[in-house]
Structure 1
């Protein structure tokens, strides 16, 4: 049977809306759309680049808990209400994804809160745990 479990960040939104920060389903990791909220303080910066940095910190924490990293990301989706905000984020995004080159999509759309200026969603693939590799041999 495929391993499936949820990863929660502690965001009040997860409880209020009924979702998980990420879901691990076997070797696949699906990280929900993640905004620039600092979940420890439930605050969000006005600056889109700072929001992108916080999005990636939040995503990195979920990936780590799932047993993988940004190097395992195969798909990324960027959602922004204002297309002009995307280019200032490119250096931040390139730092995390430039070497691994996941498939990517950028969408211009409304977000749940007008303070949110970027939302990022990723899918990753976990490596097979070493104990399972030896069982397959």
Structure 2
């Protein structure tokens, strides 16, 4: 019995780089870094709040596809290109996780893969 399930977003980069949007092994779910994409294009250009919300929408969508729920998230990792935007990013994160309260980190990085991405979020979940 194969306990590993890989979930693809269909992005061409997955095969080029060799990664999956989400991997579930048993009751553990890990999500790749997620940026704000809608219809293959950046969503929320210049707006850290909108980009964060979109990242979390995508994360929730894939956790659901893998048989989990947002309430199963135990950790998020938030990479930002400008830490001074922390309150906008934190506000959006709080709208999704206020009652769940996973552990989290918010780290400023020098840049993301596209200079217009302000936020990238990873998530870990355990489905009980």
CA contact (8 A) 1:2 1:26 kept: no
- More relative contact order in 1 or in 2 (CA 8 Å, sep 6+)? 2
Aligned length: 125
Where has structure 1 moved over 4 Å in runs of 4 or more? none
The TM-score normalised by the length of structure 1 is 0.85
Cα gap change, 1:86/1:11 in structure 2, threshold over 3 Å: closer, same or farther?
farther
How well do the aligned residues superpose, as a CA RMSD in angstroms? Answer: 1.3
Name 1:121's counterpart in structure 2: 122
1:69 Cα deviation after fit: 1.2
CA contact (8 A) 2:49 2:91 kept: no
CA contact (8 A) 1:85 1:117 kept: no
1:2 Cα deviation after fit: 6.1
1:13 Cα deviation after fit: 2.5
The TM-score normalised by the length of structure 2 is 0.91
Unpaired runs of 5+ in structure 2? none
Unpaired runs of 5+ in structure 1? 128-137
